[in-house]
Every structure is written in C-alpha cells, then in structure tokens.
Structure 1
Amino acid sequence: MRLGLTGFASLSWPNLMQLRAASPLPSSHEKTAVIMVWLPGGLSHLDSYDPKPEIGSEYRGPFKTIDTKVPGLQFTELLPRHAQIADKFTILRSMSHRGPGHPAGSMQMLSGDPDERDKSKPKLPDWMSVVNYLRSQDPQRSNPLPRYVGVNPPLEYNGPAYLGDAYSPFSVQDDPNRPNFEVPNIGLANPAEAIRLGNRVALRQSIDNLERSFDREGELGALDQFETQAMTLLTNPQTRKAFDLNQEDPRVRDRYGRNRWGQQLLLARRLAEAGAEIITSSLNGPLCGRVSNWDDHAVNHHVFDAMRFRAEAYDQAVTALIEDVYARGLDKRVLVVVTGEFGRTPKIEYDRSTGAGNASAAAGTVQPGRDHWPRAFSNLWAGGGITTGRVIGATDKRGEDVIERVCSPGDFLATIYHHLGIDGSKVLINDFNGRPTPIVDQGKPIAELIA
C-alpha cells in the first residue's frame, strides 16, 4: 500500500485537494455560466454608480458627474469607459441588507445567511458551491475544465460549508499578468508523461483493491474521484489552452489592461468561453491601495485618493470584459455580476491614518474615509440575456437608504440561480444535521433584470 501511494505522491501534486472541484460534470458550450467580479471591502456607491452631486460637502466627494450612453443615467468622472457602454449593462442601485461587518455582509450576499453577526466560517454554502454541487449530479458533462474556477477567488467569509470541500473552486492564485504566468497541474505537454502518469495510477489502483474491505469511510472512493479529475486536467490539451493567455491577441490583452485585474478578467472570459460554468474573481491586492482592498475607512485609505488610484484599472478591466462578452456572442449564455458585500457610508468620516502607502497619508495624518454601509449600495449586471441600458431602484438624496425597489441578498441569489436554470425557491439540500435547507430562504429573481 505504501509503495502504491508513494508512486502516486511522486506526481508532485502539492495542491491535489484543490482539484476536487474539477468534477466530471454536465454539458456543452451552451451551458449557462456566471462570472462574478467581487470587490472585497465594498465599493463606495456615491463615488461610482450612484453619485449625489447636489448634497452638501459632508457627503459629497470631489468627483464630477458625467453623462452616460443611457439618457438620464450619470456616473462619476472616475468611470468614463463605463459611461461609454452603459447600454450594455444595468445598474441596480437598491441592494440592501443588515450585515454590518465583512463576514456577515459577505455571507449575506454569497449564501443568503440572514445572521447579522460576524462568524469565522460560513453556516450556509455559497451560491458558487451550490451550483457546482447541483450540476455535478448530471453525468453527461464531457468538458475537461473544472466547472467552478476561482481566478484569485473570494475565499474569505464564504465556502461550501456542509457540501464539503469537493465543491470548492479550482483556484488560480498567481498573477496572470506575470510574463511567466502558468497554472500548475494543467495539461501535460509531453504525451509520454501522460502515459507514465497513467501507469503509476493503475499501479496504485491495483494495490488499493486490497484495502476496499477496510475502507469504512469511503476515503479510497473519494480519492478515486479526485484522481480522475486530476488526470483529466493533466492529460487533456484543452485545459492547458483555456488557461493560456498567450493564445490571446496582444491587442485584446492591452484592452483589458496589462495589470493583474485586467488579465484576471480576461482569463475569466476565456474560461467561460471554454466551458467553465462558475468563475469568480476578486479585484484586490496592490491595485486597491495600501491595505489591498476596497475597505476605505480613514484609518486605511484617503477614500478619494483610493478611488482615483484604482479607478483606471477597474474601469478598463470591467468594461473590457463586458464588451468582450457581447462581441464574442456570449451575452445570452454568460451573466456578469459586479458587486461587493456592501457600500460605504454616505457621510464622510475623518480619522488618523495608520500608515503611509498608496492612497494613504503618513501615519497620524487626518484623512477622509467612508465606513461600512449595507443599507443601500449598487451592483452591476451584464450579459445573461438580461434587459440592459437601465437603472433599477433608487436611494434617497444622500444615498443613505433605498426609496425605490428594495432588493435583498435573497433576490440577488435567486436572480443568479434563475439564469443558471435553478429555481431557488424549490431546491433543498440537507445540512450537517440532515435537515433539508433551502438554497434561497427568502427572495425572488429581480424581474426587471429578466428579459
């Protein structure tokens, strides 16, 4: 037994368990898909998609408003590319929940957990893991790509919970903008290596058969499943091609932006086009500013310097993705959603910086910031066959509360599930205690988004 497993271990798969999400699963290139662009920390809605130019200086930022391609719709001057293609997406300005902290806000948005308290780990599985689980029940999928891929995925405050780690994402953590970027354990280039790999696995399987009668927990069967997935990823040339950004025209790469965010979203589009069905990508890291996220408290960032600092890369990457989805005929099949866990306080707060860096003054310097604000915020929807070129909902004159068409995390989730062909009101999954638990406890698809 040790001999067989030693041969298997020599394959150098340090992240074998990450391959668990590569289930052998449904479908054709016509399978609906979602690309979720996650803004960890929360985008300031007043400084982006829901400006309030008439309010007082206690609330209003320094940014001018600009007209967009949609009559009557304005954004701040930080989003000129968004303004030019506003007919290709819809802005929802009336998302609201009661999760004040990053964990609670993320769990509300991604899993529908109504608990307002922050928890160290999720009680409910996120929608991405749920879709991976539900679609894995279909044995007909022939696509070798993992169904659920995270390109720098949002792994904090969410996960598969009681579904188990097999339904977590296949994670791409490296920077796709690096000249030598390569996803490990994808597509062996040398056919001889694939043959040797198959021989090693066959040897281990023959030895494993001796242990079947003692395998009370089914661990060998689970290993077989992961091994099959790993073999598919390693030996199918289609997988290597899908992850290879060098296959793209350099002009396309330029259009997305030669930075981490731009290349992450380009890779997300490539994966969706190749047949991945759930793709998530967090826009965080150095492009956000000193603390590497959108959490623009005054102690972290000068909120307006931070918005300026990240605006160009954000504006370019997101609009390139949206334009590309339509230009390549993916707009019916692939839904693009851009959101964070909440917005930022309309009233500007002031505090002392805790450190100097990009978008933050020297420690001790008083600077402006905006704090957490789940009561009203915006998100963006494109593709997916939805009705575009419009605004859904409205906030009051200060952007503090929703005054028209309140939408909840349950509505957010039900809309995503609807696009994926899942009726969130009827699907139940057993939790840790064996109790049937709805994937959407309260919420309905947002009718204005559905064509």
Structure 2
Amino acid sequence: MLKMLGSPRRCCDGITRRETLAAGALTTLGAGFSLPDLLAAQESTDEPLAGSGKAKSVILLYLLGGAPTQDMYDLKPGAPENIRGPFQPIATSAPGAEISEMMPLSAKWMHRSAIVRSVGHESGCHNTLPSYTGYERKLPNISITEDFYPPSMGSVCEYLNPDPASPDYIYMPCYLGWGQSIRRPGPYGGFLGKQYDPLYTVCSPSVDNPPDKPYHSQVLRGEPKIPNSKLSDGMTVDRLNLRKNLLDQLDDQRRRVGRSPATVSFGKQSERAWSILTSSSVRDAFDLDQVDPGLRDKYGRTLFGSSALVARRLVESGVRFVNVTWDCYYERLKLQYECWDTHKRNEGILRGYNLPVLDVTYNALMEDLEQSGLLDETLVLVMSDFGRTPKHNKNAGRD
C-alpha cells in the first residue's frame, strides 16, 4: 500500500501514471516521502541524499487564462497557416530545440530547461485545481475552494515544514482570481487544513498608458506587499513580547476547551505573523527600495516582474515554494487584454504585451538566480491552466 497524504493507492492494483508523477514531483523538491529526514541530514552534512533532486526551492510562474503553447514553446512551422500562427521559430541554446521568435531572451536558457508536453487534464474550462494539485476534479468554470479539495504543491511543502513560524509557501501578488473579484480553487491546503494555505500578499496595481484604441500596449505596474508587516510607531520588540506572552496564555486556554481546525489554523497564522514582525529575512525580501535600480529595470518594473524579483529574494531567504501569478485584471482595472485567455486578437495580445513581458521577466529571473548562486537549487516552473485550440477562431483568437 502506497499512501500519499491520506489518499491510499495500491501498487499491485496499478498505480496510474499521474499518481506516479505526483509522487515524483515531491522528490523533485528534494523531499520525496522523507522531508524530515532530509532536513535532519542538512543539519549534519551538506551532501545531498541519494536519489534526491538538487532543488531546494520552487518558483512557479503561473499564467492564468490558458497560455497558447503553440505560439510560445511548441510552434508548428509546417502546419497550415490557421494552425501554425504568425510567429516563426528561432534556435535556442539547446541544439534542436526551437521556441517563438517573441521570446529571444528565454531562448538563451533552453539548455537549462525542459519543455513538458505530456501534462494534461480533462476538467475543462478555467479549472485551476488540476494544475496546482495534480488531481482531476471537474468543477464549474468559476468556483470557490472547498475544504475537501486536494492540497496544492505549495501546501504540501508547508505541511512538511518543520518550522511553523517560518512560512514555506508564499503566493503573490494577490490571491488567485483577485483581478476578477473571485477566488479560484487550487493553491490551498485543501483536506490538509487551512493552516497549510499560502501566505498571501496584497497589491494595488495601476495601469500606464491608458489605451486610445483597443489592444494598445498597456503596462501593469505594482509590487506585492505583506500588509501590517512592520511594527507601528512606539511599539518595541519588548512590548510585542509581552503581548505575545499574553496571547500564548489565551491560546493555551483555548486549546484546553478544544482543538478545532480553526484553532489550529489560527495558531499557525499567529506564529507566521510573529515571525514576520520580529525577524527581517522574509519582510526585507519585499523591500524593493533596497534593490539596485538597474536590476529592477531588468525585471521590467511591471507587477509580474516585481513579483518575480521578490520571489528570487524570498528563495534566498529560505522560502521553499513561491508562486507568482499573472492574473486576469479586467474586472478591477478594465484592461483591454484579458490575461492569457486569448479568445480574441491572439497575435495582438501576445505580440503587444504578454510575450515581451514574460520574456524579459523570465530572463531576468534566471540571470539573477544564476548570479546569486541559487539556480542549481531552484526549480523554476512556467505553467498555465491549459493550452488552446490548434485552429484560430473567427475573432483571430484561440479558444
């Protein structure tokens, strides 16, 4: 019997390929089924465990809406015109591998990359649950999260986190679906419990260059922030310690009454808040005023770029799983392009904004990780909720 976080699977009955990949995905984090053993080993030696991956951290760049991979990483130059699209393939640093001409900076990193074409699901529409969890569950297009849903990859890392006071799963720049005023499922603790939900940031984005015509290039500015992460005026660490001691006593009384899931979740969140208020490593990662302006320019100074820069700084501070989402912001900001959901004007949206911004940000992140010595131990994932149809529709988009 193989048991993955409470979900039994009998090997002799035929474990599925998806389940095998789900198990292997944990090993990719250097964890496998024995992260406590790994962490114990890290305290005594710098040598990696046999069979474990090198990666200690993950940065997930999530492109909400369904990124058209045939215009990015899997071009079909020999296909008919209405299938292959307008972009030409270019050579990359990996012999024989080609990607879109709109991503020349990303092409430099293909020798350090792998394009995975075998991942898919049958859940339909913008169901974000499978891509975050690896589980199939058919849901409505717009759905709230439920406690019985499977946990996200980041929540599994938080579940295996030996230090509850230090966050191991941070989600930026805002919760999934914020830009559309909904809360999409996927990046949560699910049946593991709300205490394994990510630490969410907030953002107050703005739009540069208001459009004078449809699909004019607009630039989404902003930075992720942790609200109330600094001590207020007049508050010292000593005074905060006194308040925490009082809070701990109240928590002890609460635990005597009953250990409900809400109590457990509140306790973990309190420890996180205390850690951020009294230590600087995570909090300082969000202070981009400390960053060289030239480096900020390399990331592009967009909301997506600034979030990726913070992600690199969080990994450097020891956070294991950081999610950076390119959300859909039409509902809140009235943008003329709808994230990666290119039902209309696929070429215009990709050429005018999406691909150049992704290319600049991805290249800056990879360069920054390499120069800071973190690339060999950081897994960078670029992922979306699904791909798009081979043929263009009547609106010059892909469905």
User: Structure 2-normalised TM-score?
Assistant: 0.71
Q: Distance in 2 between matches of 1:212 and 1:154?
A: 30
Give the 3 Å change call, closer, same or farther, for CA 237–96 of structure 1 in structure 2.
closer
Deviation at 1:331, TM superposition (A): 2.0
- The 5 A counterparts of 1:40-439 are 40-103=64-127, 106-118=128-140, 120=143, 121=145, 123-133=149-159, 135-136=160-161, 138=162, 141=163, 145-152=166-173, 155=176, 156-158=184-186, 159-174=188-203, 182-188=225-231, 192-206=235-249, 213-215=256-258, 217=260, 223-285=266-328, 290-297=336-343, 301-309=344-352, 310-350=354-394, 367-371=395-399
Deviations 1:342-401 (A, max 9, x none): 111111111xxxxxxxxxxxxxxxx21111xxxxxxxxxxxxxxxxxxxxxxxxxxxxxx
Deviation at 1:67, TM superposition (A): 1.9
Q: Distance in 1 between matches of 2:133 and 2:59?
A: 16
Gaps of 5+ in 1: 1-24, 351-366, 372-451
The question of whether the paired residues in 2 share the 8 Å contact of 1:175 and 1:260 is answered with: no
The question of whether the paired residues in 2 share the 8 Å contact of 1:38 and 1:340 is answered with: yes
Give the 3 Å change call, closer, same or farther, for CA 49–336 of structure 1 in structure 2.
same
Deviations 1:41-66 (A, max 9, x none): 11111111111122112212122222
Q: Which amino acid aligns with 2:396?
A: P
Give the 3 Å change call, closer, same or farther, for CA 93–231 of structure 1 in structure 2.
same
Deviation at 1:154, TM superposition (A): 5.9
Q: Distance in 2 between matches of 1:85 and 1:205?
A: 49
The question of whether the paired residues in 2 share the 8 Å contact of 1:33 and 1:335 is answered with: yes
Q: Which amino acid aligns with 1:45?
A: T
Q: Distance in 2 between matches of 1:218 and 1:88?
A: 42
Deviation at 1:187, TM superposition (A): 4.3
Tell me the secondary structure at the aligned position of residue 58 of structure 1. Answer: helix
The question of whether the paired residues in 1 share the 8 Å contact of 2:172 and 2:224 is answered with: no
Q: Distance in 2 between matches of 1:54 and 1:162?
A: 46
Instruction: State, as a whole percentage, how many aligned pairs show the same letter.
Output: 31
Give the 3 Å change call, closer, same or farther, for CA 164–74 of structure 1 in structure 2.
same
Q: Which amino acid aligns with 1:370?
A: R
Tell me the secondary structure at the aligned position of residue 239 of structure 2. Answer: helix
Q: Which amino acid aligns with 2:236?
A: E
The question of whether the paired residues in 2 share the 8 Å contact of 1:253 and 1:263 is answered with: yes
Q: Which amino acid aligns with 2:169?
A: Y
Deviation at 1:107, TM superposition (A): 2.0
Instruction: Name 1:399's counterpart in structure 2.
Output: none
The question of whether the paired residues in 2 share the 8 Å contact of 1:154 and 1:280 is answered with: no
- The 5 A counterparts of 1:10-25 are none
Tell me the secondary structure at the aligned position of residue 349 of structure 1. Answer: coil
The question of whether the paired residues in 2 share the 8 Å contact of 1:154 and 1:281 is answered with: no
The question of whether the paired residues in 2 share the 8 Å contact of 1:109 and 1:341 is answered with: yes
Deviation at 1:314, TM superposition (A): 0.9
Deviation at 1:204, TM superposition (A): 4.2
Q: Which amino acid aligns with 2:156?
A: V
Q: Distance in 1 between matches of 2:324 and 2:79?
A: 34
User: Structure 1-normalised TM-score?
Assistant: 0.64
Tell me the secondary structure at the aligned position of residue 282 of structure 2. Answer: helix
Higher deviation after alignment, 119-128 or 308-317: 119-128
Tell me the secondary structure at the aligned position of residue 338 of structure 1. Answer: strand
Instruction: Name 1:424's counterpart in structure 2.
Output: none
Higher helix share: 2
The question of whether the paired residues in 2 share the 8 Å contact of 1:255 and 1:320 is answered with: yes
Tell me the secondary structure at the aligned position of residue 251 of structure 1. Answer: helix
Deviation at 1:257, TM superposition (A): 0.7
Deviation at 1:78, TM superposition (A): 1.0
Give the 3 Å change call, closer, same or farther, for CA 236–60 of structure 1 in structure 2.
same
Deviations 1:181-228 (A, max 9, x none): 743232438784322222233334445666665346476565444323
Tell me the secondary structure at the aligned position of residue 71 of structure 2. Answer: coil
Deviation at 1:175, TM superposition (A): 5.2
Deviation at 1:180, TM superposition (A): 8.4
Gaps of 5+ in 2: 1-35, 47-54, 177-183, 206-219
Give the 3 Å change call, closer, same or farther, for CA 204–55 of structure 1 in structure 2.
closer
The question of whether the paired residues in 1 share the 8 Å contact of 2:67 and 2:384 is answered with: yes
Higher deviation after alignment, 240-249 or 34-43: 240-249
Deviation at 1:321, TM superposition (A): 0.9
Q: Distance in 2 between matches of 1:100 and 1:207?
A: 47
Q: Which amino acid aligns with 1:127?
A: M
